[in-house]
Amino acid sequence: MRAVQVGICGLGTVGSGVFNVLTRNLSCINNRSNCEINIRQIGARRDNPLCDTSNIDTTVDIFDVAKNPEIDILVELIGGTTVAYDLVMTALKNNKHVVTANKALIAEHGMEIFATAASRGLVVAYEAAVAGGIPVIKALREGLSANQVNWVAGIINGTTNFILSEMDNKGRDFNDVLAEAQEKGYAEADPTFDVEGIDAAHKLVILASIAFKMPLTLDGLFTDGITKLEPQDVAYARDLGYVIKHLGIARQTDQGVELRVHPTLVPQKSMIAGVNDVSNAVMINADAVGTTLFYGPGAGAEPTASSVIADIVDVARSIESSPESKVNALGSPISKLEQPTIIAIDEIETSFYMRFSALDKPGVLSDITKIMADSGISIEAIVQKEQPAGEDYVNVIIITNVTQERLLNTAVEHIENLETVRDTIKFIRVEHLDQ
Amino acid sequence: MRAVQVGICGLGTVGSGVFNVLTRNLSCINNRSNCEINIRQIGARRDNPLCDTSNIDTTVDIFDVAKNPEIDILVELIGGTTVAYDLVMTALKNNKHVVTANKALIAEHGMEIFATAASRGLVVAYEAAVAGGIPVIKALREGLSANQVNWVAGIINGTTNFILSEMDNKGRDFNDVLAEAQEKGYAEADPTFDVEGIDAAHKLVILASIAFKMPLTLDGLFTDGITKLEPQDVAYARDLGYVIKHLGIARQTDQGVELRVHPTLVPQKSMIAGVNDVSNAVMINADAVGTTLFYGPGAGAEPTASSVIADIVDVARSIESSPESKVNALGSPISKLEQPTIIAIDEIETSFYMRFSALDKPGVLSDITKIMADSGISIEAIVQKEQPAGEDYVNVIIITNVTQERLLNTAVEHIENLETVRDTIKFIRVEHLDQ
């Protein structure tokens, strides 16, 4: 069997997972790759006590690995977009194939990286960059290659999904759950990347690029996090038959492509509503296949390693074949990608959940429903929630039918101007994901 | 771009789907395959009014296609295991790659077909043979190639799932729903293949072979259909927090491999319990990734076409590369497959749902629970269902903890011998699918 030499850069959580799974399952991995895969060198600032690397050439300078003439595939697991970028570009310039789990790197520098790789007949594989152990890049790029994709919607950040699951199942407060998530290691000390939706945005851009044959770009993408979600909205949503999930949504419409990450009400009975804790799931709706869903662990050492090693196997197996016989990084060749119009958030069409506080007296609901009607918005449900004793105001919850967000904004403004309505109106988008 | 010539044999439901999707999406399919894919010839006994084949060379003799020297890939969509077998073998002997949606053919003749293909450096691709439009062969064989698989469990027959969904959601009777399914075209005039689990068995064997590196064989596989399921069991299961699904289960244990298809209680809260109507879903649990689930349409013209065309794209893209650089038909090379012990059904260990009719008088439950304890079976729940007025007997429902089926059989025999127990005991296996 042909031998393929692998260099691993980074021996943190994912790196140790890759090292240990590859070592443990090497014989069946070799069978599946039709190669003998060797870990030729490891580049890491320090040892990881979880890995016995005593028989392996190690270096503290990861660029040694990128330049090592014996190495065929460099595995980038250091994260970030600065050193990792330099490392990957150095590896490519030294004619190494690259496997990475780095979503930020691919989302921000993917076009340059893929172009460099393509010009040298090299592969940059990145299954682990989206949805951890779920082979969704492969599913979308190869398994569904016959299709025109209509939309992709996914729970693609485990941290936010853990927080929302706890808020939903136990009625807990955002900050309270976040603190626990940090304690358990599900959330970083600085959780901004996760809870503000930036990590999900990186992953969504990658999925959208493959789905809609467009270059990778974060431009125009709308992002809203979960930090302002209140337990009462989670509870009201459930009363109305919905669950709140933090979704990345990319949709092709006649006007262009929607790219948005935000809390979303989804029907309780939908498959995606049942995705709890740190799990991820990606739904893909496409013209031939209809709706599919891919579910599994979105993070963790060994789930991520599963995807990293699957990429190593793919690259190793076909390492001697021609560039045209390999899967294009984004499905279609770079030259065929086209930038669509990215639809502004107030131009999107969806349903909405609205909550506000209104005086509990005759005529108030009629004023509100008149404003909605005048704005051209039809209402699916309107519910008035009992006020606590002695309180003059009640919570009013509305679920609208599908409407343009711009129309909703106008209605919101008019309702907020009513003297009978207190404070600002809270709204959350609703998706049925059934078409 | 390199041109690749495709011959389609069979222009029924799936054939017309393949023709229409390929024609409709040809330009992006070509981009993804790095080839120009041409439908060079169609072999079909008659035209299909759903397809405009006026510009295509057609023949009523499918063997013309298999022998046509211009054709690179033969797509077998005629079904069955007789003519289809001859067709595929003829195509291989004429040095054509083969794409097929035929689960029975692969399950029964796969070893010979794959060996013939391998000896000639040809590919036989069969994504559409399992779970219709869900790219689960690709997920298991490539996406999870780093893993040792622990178990696979799936809803892999749309007809039975439609019947069970209706029985569950509407309290309907098996025969009543079957008649509707036949009317809607979800079930064949002779539904045996579906409702007795033979179709699911074919698919399970394929999944198990890839998962456990074993040759394809139906030997030792246990199959039980859904024809004897009663609405009361569906209802009692739901009362206890379960849903009854018809699952194919393959599990690696220290003793060998379990291969079984049967009605199964799964927890209502599990993802797979939410798979309704003609949808399919396959769960895969493996050492590195943990548990994943792949959901989508299990049948239908265009979903199946989605998988057939994905195979065409894969074969076409790598048509000029070496055999070693291609994915092995069953993941591992044929020479590395090993036949494990297939565990007899009475040796498997799982939980059970039991229902029987017992006299409603003091001491009866105590007799029953004593028999269970004496048989070494612990009980998770025991419920006595109210009898209709004037009836001396009550329905007793038991959910056991995990036990060996042989022990359960002994307990069943002893309980049936009690004078206070009427008729035979009905039991259904229970799987929690959480480990």
pLDDT of residue B361: 87
- In this complex, the residue of B133, B275, B332 whose CB is nearest that of residue A289 is B133
- B101: domain CATH number is 3.40.50.720
Residue A152 lies in a domain: yes
- In this complex, the residue of B297, B305, B322 whose CB is nearest that of residue A146 is B305
Contact B317 A297 (CB under 8 A): no
Contacting residues of B for A121, CB less than 8 Å apart = none
What do you get for the CA distance between the two ends of chain A, in Å?
48
- In this complex, the residue of A28, A134, A274 whose CB is nearest that of residue B213 is A28
Two structure tokens written together for A227? 């930090």
- Looking at the fold, whether A87 and A117 belong to one and the same domain comes out as yes
ipTM, two decimals: 0.97
Q: How far is A371 from A375, CA to CA, in rounded Å?
A: 6
Contact A325 B291 (CB under 8 A): no
Query: How far apart are the CA of A234 and the nearest CA of chain B, in angstroms?
Result: 19
pLDDT of residue A163: 96
| Residues paired with A359 in a beta bridge | A393
- Looking at the fold, whether A236 and A208 belong to one and the same domain comes out as yes
pLDDT of residue B1: 83
Residue A239 lies in a domain: yes
Task: Say whether residue A177 is in contact with chain B using an 8 A CB cutoff.
Answer: no
Strands A2-9 and B35-43: unpaired
Q: How far is B299 from A354, CA to CA, in rounded Å?
A: 39
pLDDT of residue B390: 77
Contacting residues of B for A321, CB less than 8 Å apart = 318, 320-322, 325
Task: Say whether residue B271 is in contact with chain A using an 8 A CB cutoff.
Answer: yes
Rg of chain B over all Cα atoms, to the nearest angstrom:
24
Residue B345: closest CA among B229, B220, B251, B211:
B220
User: Where a domain ends, among A283, A309, A336?
Assistant: A336
Number of H helices and E strands in chain B, helices first, is 14, 17
Contact A328 B142 (CB under 8 A): no
Task: Say whether residue B329 is in contact with chain A using an 8 A CB cutoff.
Answer: no
Single-letter amino acid code for the residue at A130: V
- Looking at the fold, whether A282 and A144 belong to one and the same domain comes out as yes
Q: Do B172 and B227 meet the contact criterion of CB atoms below 8 Å apart?
A: no
Query: How far apart are the CA of A368 and the nearest CA of chain B, in angstroms?
Result: 37
- A165: domain CATH number is 3.30.360.10
- Looking at the fold, whether A73 and A41 belong to one and the same domain comes out as yes
- Looking at the fold, whether A289 and A422 belong to one and the same domain comes out as no
Contact B305 A336 (CB under 8 A): no
Look up the pTM and report it. Answer: 0.97
Query: How far apart are the CA of A290 and the nearest CA of chain B, in angstroms?
Result: 7
Two structure tokens written together for B39? 């439908």
What pLDDT, in 10s, does the model give residues A54-65? 999 999 999 999
Question: Where would I find the H helices in B318-360?
Answer: none
Residue A290 lies in a domain: yes
pLDDT of A388 > 90? The answer is no
Task: Say whether residue A228 is in contact with chain B using an 8 A CB cutoff.
Answer: no
- Looking at the fold, whether B118 and B145 belong to one and the same domain comes out as no
- Looking at the fold, whether A56 and A171 belong to one and the same domain comes out as no
Query: How far apart are the CA of B351 and the nearest CA of chain A, in angstroms?
Result: 24
A contact test, residue of B144, B150, B209 with most A CBs within 10 A: B144
- Looking at the fold, whether A260 and A403 belong to one and the same domain comes out as no
Task: Say whether residue A326 is in contact with chain B using an 8 A CB cutoff.
Answer: yes
Q: For residue B210, what is the nearest residue in chain A, using CA coordinates?
A: A32
Q: How far is A113 from A102, CA to CA, in rounded Å?
A: 12
Two structure tokens written together for B30? 């070509």
pLDDT of residue B90: 98
SS (H, E, C) chain A: CEEEEEEEECCCHHHHHHHHHHHHCHHHHHHHHCEEEEEEEEECCCCCCCCCCCCCEEECCHHHHHHCCCCCEEEECCCCCCHHHHHHHHHHHCCCEEEECCHHHHHHHHHHHHHHHHHCCCCEECHHHCCCCCCHHHHHHHHCCCCCEEEEEEECCHHHHHHHHHHHHHCCCHHHHHHHHHHHCCCCCCCHHHHCCHHHHHHHHHHHHHHHCCCCCCCCCEECCCCCCCHHHHHHHHHCCEEEEEEEEEEEECCEEEEEEEEEEEECCCHHHHCCCCEEEEEEEECCCEEEEEEEECCCHHHHHHHHHHHHHHHHHCCCCCHHHCCECEEECHHHCCCCCECCHHHCEEEEEEEEEEECCCCHHHHHHHHHHHCCCCEEEEEEECCCCCCCEEEEEEEECCEEHHHHHHHHHHHHHCCCEEEEEEEEEECCCCC
Residues with Cβ within 8 Å of A216's Cβ and at least 6 positions away in sequence, in order, are: A106, A107, A108, A110, A111, A205, A206, A209, A330
pLDDT of residue A185: 81
Residue B63 lies in a domain: yes
Q: How far is B329 from B335, CA to CA, in rounded Å?
A: 12
**Domain limits for position B172:** 137-296
Q: Do A8 and A42 meet the contact criterion of CB atoms below 8 Å apart?
A: yes
Contact A292 B292 (CB under 8 A): no
Is the alpha carbon torsion for A141, A145, A151, A155 positive or negative? negative
- Looking at the fold, whether A37 and A176 belong to one and the same domain comes out as no
Q: Do B212 and B257 meet the contact criterion of CB atoms below 8 Å apart?
A: yes
Contact B332 A32 (CB under 8 A): yes
Contact B325 A317 (CB under 8 A): yes
- B426: domain CATH number is 3.30.70.260
Query: Looking at residues A88-112, what average pLDDT do you find?
Result: 98
- Looking at the fold, whether A61 and A147 belong to one and the same domain comes out as no
Residue A343 lies in a domain: no
Q: How far is A357 from A414, CA to CA, in rounded Å?
A: 14
Single-letter amino acid code for the residue at A228: K
Q: How far is B215 from B412, CA to CA, in rounded Å?
A: 35
Q: Do A96 and A73 meet the contact criterion of CB atoms below 8 Å apart?
A: yes
Task: Say whether residue A354 is in contact with chain B using an 8 A CB cutoff.
Answer: no
Contact A325 B127 (CB under 8 A): no
Two structure tokens written together for A200? 């999900």
- In this complex, the residue of A138, A274, A275 whose CB is nearest that of residue B138 is A138
Rg of chain A over all Cα atoms, to the nearest angstrom:
24
Q: How far is A118 from A116, CA to CA, in rounded Å?
A: 6
Q: How far is A113 from A109, CA to CA, in rounded Å?
A: 6
Backbone angles phi, psi at A146, to 5 degrees: -80, -10
Task: Say whether residue B146 is in contact with chain A using an 8 A CB cutoff.
Answer: yes
Contact B31 A332 (CB under 8 A): yes
Residue B182: closest CA among B280, B233, B174:
B174
Residue A342 lies in a domain: no
Query: How far apart are the CA of B287 and the nearest CA of chain A, in angstroms?
Result: 8
- In this complex, the residue of B24, B274, B320 whose CB is nearest that of residue A325 is B320
Residue A237 lies in a domain: yes
The residues of B annotated with a catalytic role in the active site are 203
CA B407, chain centre distance (Å): 28
Q: For residue B29, what is the nearest residue in chain A, using CA coordinates?
A: A146
Task: Say whether residue A33 is in contact with chain B using an 8 A CB cutoff.
Answer: yes
Contact B328 A34 (CB under 8 A): yes
Q: Which segments of chain B have a pLDDT < 70?
A: 435
What pLDDT, in 10s, does the model give residues A166-192? 999 999 999 999 999 888 888 888 899
Residue B435 lies in a domain: no
Rounded percentage of chain A residues whose pLDDT exceeds 90: 93
Q: How far is A75 from A88, CA to CA, in rounded Å?
A: 9
Q: How far is B251 from B263, CA to CA, in rounded Å?
A: 16
Q: Do A52 and A22 meet the contact criterion of CB atoms below 8 Å apart?
A: no
Q: How far is A298 from A174, CA to CA, in rounded Å?
A: 21
Residue B130: closest CA among B8, B284, B26:
B284
- Looking at the fold, whether A280 and A305 belong to one and the same domain comes out as no
Q: How far is B406 from B375, CA to CA, in rounded Å?
A: 10
- In this complex, the residue of B139, B288, B307 whose CB is nearest that of residue A305 is B288
H or E stretch covering B182: helix B174-184
User: Where a domain ends, among A297, A328, A358?
Assistant: A297
- Looking at the fold, whether A314 and A382 belong to one and the same domain comes out as no
Confidence category of residue A423, pLDDT binned at 50, 70, 90:
confident
pLDDT of residue A409: 97
Query: Looking at residues A319-342, what average pLDDT do you find?
Result: 97
Query: How far apart are the CA of A415 and the nearest CA of chain B, in angstroms?
Result: 39
Q: For residue B324, what is the nearest residue in chain A, using CA coordinates?
A: A34
pLDDT of residue A39: 98
What pLDDT, in 10s, does the model give residues B10-68? 999 999 999 999 999 999 999 999 999 999 999 999 999 999 999 999 999 999 999 99
- In this complex, the residue of B145, B306, B321 whose CB is nearest that of residue A147 is B306
Please tell me the total count of domains within chain A. 3
Place of tokens 């990881």: A48
Task: Say whether residue B33 is in contact with chain A using an 8 A CB cutoff.
Answer: yes
pLDDT of residue A156: 98
Confidence category of residue A425, pLDDT binned at 50, 70, 90:
very high
What do you get for the CA distance between the two ends of chain B, in Å?
48
Contact A290 B275 (CB under 8 A): no
**What is the number of CB-based contacts under 8 A between chain A and chain B?**
239
Residue of A96, A103, A138, A203 marked active site: A203
Task: Say whether residue B322 is in contact with chain A using an 8 A CB cutoff.
Answer: yes
pLDDT of residue A390: 77
Residue A413: closest CA among A385, A380, A377, A379:
A377
In three-state secondary structure terms, B218 is coil
Contact B290 A305 (CB under 8 A): no
SS (H, E, C) B382-399: EEEECCCCCCCEEEEEEE
Please, which residues 274-313 of chain B have a Cβ atom closer than 8 Å to chain A? 274-275, 286-297, 300, 302-303, 305-310, 313
